[in-house]
Structure 1
Amino acid sequence: MKPKILFVDDEPNILDSLRLSLRPLRAKWDMTFALGGREALAVLERERHDVVVSDMRMPGLDGAQLLAEVQRRHPDVVRIILSGYSDEQSVLKTVKLAHQYLSKPCRPVDLIQAVDRALGLSGVLEPGALKSVVASLTSLPAVPSLYGRLVEILQDENTTLKEVGDIVSQDVAMCASILRLVNSAFFGLPTRVSSIHHAVNLLGGQTIRALVLGVNLFESMDAQRMPDFSVHGLWEHSLRTACFAKALAACEGAGNELGDEAFIAGVVHDMGKLPMACGLPGEYARALDLVRSEGLAVHEAERAVFGATHAEAGAYLMGLWGFDRGQIKAVLRHHDAAGLDQGAMSPALAVYAANALDHELVVLHQDYARKPLDDAQAHPGFERERIARWREACRAHLEQGCAP
C-alpha cells in the first residue's frame, strides 16, 4: 500500500504548483492537497494519512495550530512544516510540534528526501501504543542533574557557549534535540553538523536560552514514574559508550569527523529507552522483570513485551527527526552484528563494539546478562586480535578516568 501524504496550504496556486512538481511521485505516494488547516483536519478525520506537510503562515488555523491538533488527534502521523517565514520566532513556535522543518522556497528534491527519510523506518515499529508514543513526543526527558545545571548557567549572562556545550554533550536528550534543530533546513547548512560544541556555537546563546527557558525544549526526567529504571545508569553507560566509540575510531586511524559522529551516535544509541520507559512505564517495568527473572538481555526482554527494541524505537525517532542515515544505522544496529559491515570503521561499527565492550568491562547491573565481544556466538564475525586492541583502548580510557 502506498503511503498517504497530505499537503496543506492556503494558496491555491501553491497547491497547484506542488501537484505539478510532485506528479512523477503518483506511483509512489497517494497524495491529497488541502486548502487550509480546517480542510486538512476534515481530510484526516475521513481518512488516515502517514505524513502531513503544512505551510506555516495560514489565516484562521495556522501551521503551528494545525500540527498541534494533528499531534493530539493523530499522534502517529509524521508532521513536517514548510515555511518561508524564516525567523527565530517561527522556528521556536514549531520546534516541539514538527518532526522536520523545511524552508520555502523548497526544491521538490528536498521535500521528497524529507518525506522519504521520515517514512524510511516506518516499518521498524508496528502500529500501536509504542509507535504512537514515539511519534507524538514533543521532547525527550533529560537527566535531572544536567538539566538543572543547564538552566542554572543559562541564567548567568557570563556563561560561555563552551560551558553550555560541555553540559549538552553529556545528555542523550539534549544532544539529540540540539542536533535535530541545527541540521534542519532552517539553518540551510551545506554540511551536516555532528559536533555538539559546533552546534551550540551556531545556535548562539540567545537561541539556546529561548529553547531551554522559553519553549522548554528539554524537560527534566521524572524518575519517580519509573522506579525500576536507572536514569543515572543510562547516562553513565551512554557517555562511556560515546567515549569508547570515539576511542575505537581513533584506534582504527579514523579522522576527527568520523570520531565526532561515532561519539554522538554513542551518546544517543540508547535513546529509544526514553520513550519506552517514560511513555509506557508499566510495560517497561515488565521488560525489566524479565531481564532479572529469565536472564534475558534488555533488548530481548523488550521484544518480548513490546514486539520491538529500544534500538528500533530510537532509530524510528531519529528517522522522523531527519538524522543522518549513518547515525540512524548506528542506533538501529547496536545489538545486531549481522547487519554491520565489519571492514572499515564506521559510526555503526564503533558504537556496536563500544556498547558491547562497556557491558563487558563495567557491571551495569548484577542481573543483566553479559556477553564478551569475543563470544563468537553472541558477536559473530569479529577478529580476536582486533577485539583485543579495542578492549585495551577502552580499558585504558576507563583507567585514565576519561569516562564515568
Structure 2
Amino acid sequence: MNAPCIVFVDNEPGVLNALRRLLRLSHRDWDMHFFSSPVQALDQLDSLTPWVVVADRNMSEMDGIELLGHVADTAPEAIRVLLSGDAQMESAIRATAAAHLVIRKPFEREVIDDLLTRARVLHQLPLSVTLRGRLGQQESLPVLPEVYQQITHVLEQQEPDVAEVAELIRHDQVLLSRVLQLVNSPFFGFNSRTHDVEVAVMRLGLQTIHNLVLIIELYQHNSTVPRALGDRLMRDALLLAEHVGTLADSRGVSRNIRNLAVVSALLHNIGVLLLGADSQEYNIASAYLLELWGFESEVIEAIQHQLDPDLPYDCEPATEILNAAVKLQYGTLNDAIEANGD
C-alpha cells in the first residue's frame, strides 16, 4: 500500500524548510513533497496521488486560490488547504470552491497534526470512487456559518457567558426570529412563551442552542438551499433529535453520550446539501463534511453508520442510539434513504 501523500506549495523557502524539519520527524510515514513554484507543483501532480495539497495564498507565479482550483480538476480526491495571513480574506475564501479548509498564518504544529489526522479519517471513509471525486469537485461546499464559529469561541472559554451568546444571536434578525420560533414551538414543550433570546438560551442550554444555530443557518438561512428542501431537512432533523433524546433517556446514558447522539441526529442529513436529491450515500457525504469541519469522532461514526442494518459490535453508544432512532422515524432504512432523496 502506498504511503499517504501531502504536497506543500509556498514560494517562501523558509516556510518550506520549517515544515520539512517539523513534519519529517513526527510524520515519517507520510510521503511529503515541497514546492516553491506552483507551476512546478502542478507539473508533478500527475505523477503523485496526494491526499492533501496545502498552498499559500500569496505566490508570485500563481496565487493559492488559482492553484487549488487546478488541483480540484487534476486531483479531486485531495483535501485542498489554503494558507492565509489575511484575516479579511478568510470568510470569502471559505465560500469558494478552491479550498476545503483555510489555515491562518502563523500556525502551530498541532494544526498540521490535526489536518493529517483528518486526512486519514476521510481517506478511510467508504466512499465510492465516483462519490469521492464528486465531493472533491463540488463548486461550493457548505461552510460553517460565522455566527456558529463565534458561539464556538464563546463555548471554548472557561466560563461561557449566556449573555454573550444571546447577543451574537440578537445581531442577526432572521436567526433571532427562528430561534424564538423554535423555543416557543410545541417541539420543546415549554409551559410559557418568551421573546427574550437570553431566556431562550438559558432554557435550551448552550450546547443545544449552538447546534440549533448551525442547522438554522445551513438549512433555512442559506440562499443556496431551496426553501422547501431546507424546511424538510430542518423538520426531519428536529424530529429525529426528539426520538434520539427519548431513546437516550430510556437507556439512562450519560449526559455526554446523550448530547453526542442529539448532535448526530440534528446533522444526520447534512450530506443532502452536497448530493441534492441523489442521496443514496447521504450518510457518508454527511460524515465527510463533518470530518472536514472537525466534529467529534463519535458524531462522525454515528452519522456514517446511521443506515447500517447491522452495526459493528464495538460501535459507540451514540451510534446505537442514532441507528435505532432512524429505524423508528423512517420505518426501514430503505425508507430513510428514500425520504432524504425526495
| TM bucket normalised to smaller | 0.5 to 0.7
- Give 1:258-269 correspondences, 5 Å limit: 258-269=257-268
**5+ long unaligned stretches in structure 1:** 142-155, 170-193, 203-207, 224-229, 285-301, 303-308, 369-404
**Distance in 2 between the 1:201 and 1:317 partners?**
17
**Distance in 2 between the 1:45 and 1:217 partners?**
37
Paired residues of 2:284 and 2:304 also in contact (CA < 8 A): yes
Matched residue type, 1:63:
G
CA 1:23–1:61 in structure 2 vs 1: closer, same or farther (change >3 Å)?
same
CA 1:24–1:42 in structure 2 vs 1: closer, same or farther (change >3 Å)?
same
**Distance in 1 between the 2:181 and 2:99 partners?**
25
Correspondence for 2:247: 248
Paired residues of 2:241 and 2:266 also in contact (CA < 8 A): yes
Correspondence for 2:94: 94
**Distance in 1 between the 2:225 and 2:182 partners?**
13
Matched residue type, 2:225:
S
**Distance in 2 between the 1:236 and 1:60 partners?**
48
**Distance in 2 between the 1:200 and 1:65 partners?**
35
> Aligned-pair distance for 1:168?
11
**Distance in 1 between the 2:294 and 2:182 partners?**
20
Correspondence for 1:163: 177
CA 1:260–1:95 in structure 2 vs 1: closer, same or farther (change >3 Å)?
farther
Paired residues of 1:64 and 1:94 also in contact (CA < 8 A): no
Higher relative contact order (CA 8 A, sep 6+): 1
- Give 1:19-34 correspondences, 5 Å limit: 19-25=20-26, 27-34=28-35
- Counterpart pick for 2:297 among 325, 341, 348: 325
TM-score where L is the length of structure 2: 0.67
- Give 1:95-244 correspondences, 5 Å limit: 95-96=95-96, 97-125=98-126, 128-137=129-138, 138-140=140-142, 159=173, 161-163=175-177, 195=207, 197-198=209-210, 219-221=224-226, 235-244=234-243
Paired residues of 2:95 and 2:141 also in contact (CA < 8 A): no
> Aligned-pair distance for 1:122?
1.3
Runs of 4+ with deviation above 6 angstroms: 166-169, 199-202
Correspondence for 1:145: none
Matched residue type, 2:13:
P
Correspondence for 2:149: none
> Aligned-pair distance for 1:253?
4.7
Q: Secondary structure at the match of 1:133?
A: helix
The reply on whether 1:271 has 2:270 as its aligned counterpart is yes
The reply on whether 1:69 has 2:70 as its aligned counterpart is yes
Matched residue type, 2:42:
L
Matched residue type, 2:237:
S
The reply on whether 1:310 has 2:282 as its aligned counterpart is yes
**5+ long unaligned stretches in structure 2:** 144-169, 184-205
> Aligned-pair distance for 1:22?
0.7
**Distance in 2 between the 1:17 and 1:140 partners?**
32
Matched residue type, 2:210:
H
CA 1:267–1:340 in structure 2 vs 1: closer, same or farther (change >3 Å)?
farther
Give aligned-pair identity as a percent.
26
Correspondence for 1:354: 325
Alignment length (residue pairs): 283
TM-score where L is the length of structure 1: 0.58
